[in-house]
Amino acid sequence: MILSTALAAVACAPKAPKAIPTDNAVEAKVEKVLKGMTLEEKAGQLVQLNISTLEDASREKIDPVKLDLIIGKYKVGSILNVMHDAAHSREHTAAMVRQIQEKSMEAIGIPCIYGLDMIHGASYLVEGSLYPQEINLAATFNREYPRLMGHAMAYETRAAQVPWVFSPVMDLGRDPRWPRIWESFGEDPYLQAQMAREETIALQGANPNHIDQEHVAVSIKHFMGYGVPVSGKDRTPAIIAENDLREKFFAPFLECFRAGALTAMVNSASINGIPTHANAVLLSGWVKEQLGWDGMLVTDWADIDNLYTRDHVAADKKDAVAMGINAGIDMIMDPYDPECCTAIVELVNEGRISQARLDDAVRRVLRLKVRLGLFDKPVWDQAYPDFASEKFALQSYAAALESEVLLKNEGGLLPLKEGQKILVTGPNANSLRALNGGWSYTWQGKADDYVPQYNTILEALQKRFPGKVSYVPGVEYDPSDWQIDKVTGLAQLKAEAKKADVIICCVGENSYCETPGNMDDLNLSANQKELVRAAAASGKPVVLVLNEGRPRLIGDIEPLCAAVVDVMLPSNFGGDALAALLSGDENFSGKLPFTYSKHINALHTYDYKVSEHREIMEGSYNYDAVMDVQWPFGHGLSYTSFAYSNLQVSADKFTSADVLKVSVDVTNTGARAGKEAVLLYSSDLVASLIPDVKRLRGFEKISLAAGETKTVSFELPASALAFVGADGRWRLEEGDFRLSIGGQGLMVRCTETKVWDTPNI
């Protein structure tokens, strides 16, 4: 097995530096608290319960009797979620947390740690600032936006007295059937790692040992391999080649662990037949031992129970608890059952969990609380003048502008001409819920119920083109089931189309999150396709606007549309951004962070193996060839044009210790200013394992005035060109590589073969 071989190699490898430097003052405080704890108090620190276990009958307030039971008797150390699955004000949330902290300090002298799923901003607070979802931030190819979102999310979450967020998400979105692809930064490991790292640092601040009252602890998730289930369904098994697991799926997590991530949430499903929550090789081996990481691993929702109720690798609850904690779990998210605390006590007394493993897990929980300053300030009095500020709103709008992707624009239909009569149709035209997606005010996302002050696509177009916009829904979603839509008034659509100069057809998906988003057919719904056909049959040009959390298949209707824009999930300012882009007030610059598939049985990623090539030129692989997809990774049009030239590299021969300096000139050859994401790829021409056709190795976003040229430079460590071999070790092999940017390409040669014993280069 590769894993066992790799672990054997690690045993004799030099000890890696700790992912988070040790702070002696932090450690002294942890040891002092630990020394005075009872077994029952230690067990309670390892359990996290849902806020519903504390709710009174109104489900809006805390029941003092339940609070005394959960904190006073069971000594539970963490609470998560919001009351009644509803968004609350900052003040309501803060008051609730204060009440819990007062009880925790009174009963056990240890602060509780409260956690929330803040996924694209302070998304559980009614007044919170929401940003485009991560998939949109990835489409900007601009590291600034995860930094800005991370800062705002931390600031506003702390303002509600909450110090811990279950974010960022860094599951590789490599299967478009998976219902959580929109929570991630797309399909590529490098893009995912870079964007997640920026968000992690922005959320936590510069020093993970001492986090101030404007920053929070992260929980990077979901460790790992969650996004490629064989079935395409949420929380179902994955089969992943072990070298890919190390090389690609681990990459974003490795980057964030090294950046100081304090906690990580574990993948709910299984990899190669082993439930991740019971996988000691990954949890204790790869993370804690190989990285020297002293942070905390928390389960996902009720996943310890899944070890016996679903996966059948444990006989009962106690067996599952022992299995998870012994594998490396430090905190059990057991939403409804405080008896988990009792099970831990019994397992320690029975010797099934050692005192050493118990104390190690408790240290990790306490260390988190010390690093957050919760012992000194379980709650804090601080003004947050930027909460829900115009500054954050402008950032969200700017991110939406750079994230919406122009995929097609035949005949220069866009930008729209002033004075044109516009017919807007489709189920996504007048919905804030669809623009935001899940994790927006509620778990499944119900933005329309909370923030009607923002503009839908329809409302934004009506404001930008006053008196020129008519509206026929054509198809509408069933409010009781996100997957069901119904045709309403195609006859009216045909009548209104006669009066219009252009039709904007807004289709895609309603909001959903996690398992409720599972589906059996990736095609856009039949009713919505019928709507597009009806619009095209009018003879008027159609602009297809895709508002979706994953790339739904549209190969049969795309030819009917002169222009196609994928806005994905741009949040509250997405409608305004789209109106500015369609009108030409702003220019498109987004690029796809995933491959947009064309066929239901051909769901590819851009970094497929060279042996999958469809095109072969004179016996040589064509490294610019792409699969038969709707649009490739990195595709995105603009109202201007860009030309690439003068690709250069610092040396045409290199060793494993070298850093290649790569540069290219980019010229705006059009008539208006624009932004361009410059993407650097590498291709390994011959390798001991079948190589990927190409891999993203760098990206930079630049702005260019009309006619302007800029030189864009990259530093590419030779070690970045290495891959994980059949023996589980990283290797850079002697031979030729092709570097490419914007259609330009050149060859370089590695003059040695280097194999690393360390698993994390």
Q: Of 300, 303, 566, 684, which is the active-site residue?
A: 300
pLDDT interval class at 84 (50, 70, 90) = confident
305 is catalytic: no
| Contact indicator for 205, 215 with CB cutoff of 8 Å | yes
The H or E element containing residue 39 is helix 39-45
pLDDT interval class at 611 (50, 70, 90) = confident
Paired with 681 in beta bridges are 696, 740
Rounded to an integer, the average pLDDT of 58-80 is 96
Kindly report, as residue ranges, where domains of CATH 3.40.50.1700 are found in the chain. Answer: 404-583
Tokens of 353: 């969990």
pLDDT digit string (tens) for 471-500?
A: 999 999 998 888 899 999 899 999 999 999
- The string over 227-245, giving b where at least 16 C-beta atoms fall within 10 Å of a residue's C-beta and e elsewhere, is bbbeebbbbbbbebebbbb
pLDDT digit string (tens) for 322-349?
A: 999 999 999 999 999 999 999 999 999 9
DSSP track, 583-597: HTSS------SS-B-
Among 214, 213, 203, 299, smallest CA distance to 260 is for 203
Q: Quick one: three-class SS letters along 345-409?
A: HHHHHCCCCCHHHHHHHHHHHHHHHHHCCCCCCCCCCCCCCCCCCHHHHHHHHHHHHHHCEEEEE
| Contact indicator for 75, 100 with CB cutoff of 8 Å | no
pLDDT interval class at 5 (50, 70, 90) = very low
Instruction: Give pairs for 29-32: CB < 8 Å, separation 24+.
Output: 29/366, 29/370, 29/375, 30/363, 30/366, 30/367, 30/370, 31/363
pLDDT interval class at 2 (50, 70, 90) = very low
Angle at 549 between CA 634 and CA 262, to 5 degrees: 85
pLDDT interval class at 621 (50, 70, 90) = low
Rounded to an integer, the average pLDDT of 651-659 is 97
Q: Is the pLDDT of residue 51 over 70?
A: yes
> Which 8-state DSSP code applies to residue 438?
S
Contacts of 596 (CB under 8 A, 6+ apart): 407, 551, 566, 629, 630, 631, 632, 635
pLDDT interval class at 66 (50, 70, 90) = very high
Looking at this protein, which amino acid is placed at residue 300?
Answer: D
Q: Is 350 exposed, middle or buried (0-12, 13-18, 19+ CB in 10 A)?
A: exposed
- Locus of tokens 């709710």: 55
Among 416, 306, 297, smallest CA distance to 361 is for 297
- Locus of tokens 């300096």: 661
Rounded to an integer, the average pLDDT of 674-698 is 97
- Locus of tokens 């059990």: 332
CA atoms of 307 and 345, how far apart (whole Å): 19
CA atoms of 91 and 108, how far apart (whole Å): 26
Contacts of 190 (CB under 8 A, 6+ apart): 251, 695, 696, 697, 698
| Contact indicator for 375, 107 with CB cutoff of 8 Å | no
- Cα–Cα distances (Å) from 109 to 77, 341, 520, in that order, read 11, 18, 51
Rounded to an integer, the average pLDDT of 724-743 is 97
CA atoms of 264 and 48, how far apart (whole Å): 14
pLDDT digit string (tens) for 23-39?
A: 999 999 999 999 999 99
Q: Give the CA-trace dihedral at 284, 285, 291, 293, to 10 degrees.
A: 0
Lowest mean pLDDT among 3-7, 110-114, 669-673: 3-7
Q: Is the pLDDT of residue 6 over 60?
A: no
- Locus of tokens 């630990």: 34
> What's the CATH code, domain 404-583?
3.40.50.1700
CA atoms of 331 and 265, how far apart (whole Å): 10
Q: Is the pLDDT of residue 613 over 90?
A: no
One CATH from 3.20.20.300, 3.20.20.80, 3.30.230.70, 3.40.50.12280 for 2-7+31-371 = 3.20.20.300
Tokens of 602: 């051909």
Instruction: Tell me whether strands 481-488 and 620-621 are parallel, antiparallel or unpaired.
Output: unpaired
Contacts of 407 (CB under 8 A, 6+ apart): 564, 565, 566, 592, 596, 631, 635, 636, 637
pLDDT digit string (tens) for 118-134?
A: 999 999 999 999 999 99
CA atoms of 169 and 185, how far apart (whole Å): 8
CA atoms of 664 and 50, how far apart (whole Å): 53
Q: What is the mean pLDDT of the chain?
A: 95
- The string over 435-447, giving b where at least 16 C-beta atoms fall within 10 Å of a residue's C-beta and e elsewhere, is bbbbbbbbbbbbb
Rounded to an integer, the average pLDDT of 707-732 is 97
The H or E element containing residue 748 is strand 744-750
Rounded to an integer, the average pLDDT of 418-427 is 97
Q: How many CA atoms lie within 13 A of 661 on its CB side?
A: 3
Q: Which CATH superfamily is domain 641-755 in?
A: Immunoglobulins (2.60.40.10)
Kindly report, as residue ranges, where domains of CATH 2.60.40.10 are found in the chain. Answer: 641-755
Paired with 385 in beta bridges are none
pLDDT digit string (tens) for 567-606?
A: 999 999 999 999 999 999 999 999 999 999 999 998 989 9
Tokens of 489: 């008034």
pLDDT interval class at 170 (50, 70, 90) = very high
Chain mean position to CA 697 = 19
Q: Is the pLDDT of residue 270 over 50?
A: yes
pLDDT interval class at 10 (50, 70, 90) = very low
CA atoms of 265 and 273, how far apart (whole Å): 19
Q: Give the CA-trace dihedral at 514, 516, 520, 524, to 10 degrees.
A: -90
CA atoms of 655 and 657, how far apart (whole Å): 5
Kindly report, as residue ranges, where domains of CATH 3.20.20.300 are found in the chain. Answer: 2-7+31-371
3-state DSSP call for residue 699?
A: strand
DSSP track, 509-567: -----SGGG--S--BPPHHHHHHHHHHHHTTS-EEEEEE-SS--B-TTTGGG-SEEEE-
Q: How many CA atoms lie within 13 A of 301 on its CB side?
A: 10
> Which 8-state DSSP code applies to residue 86?
-
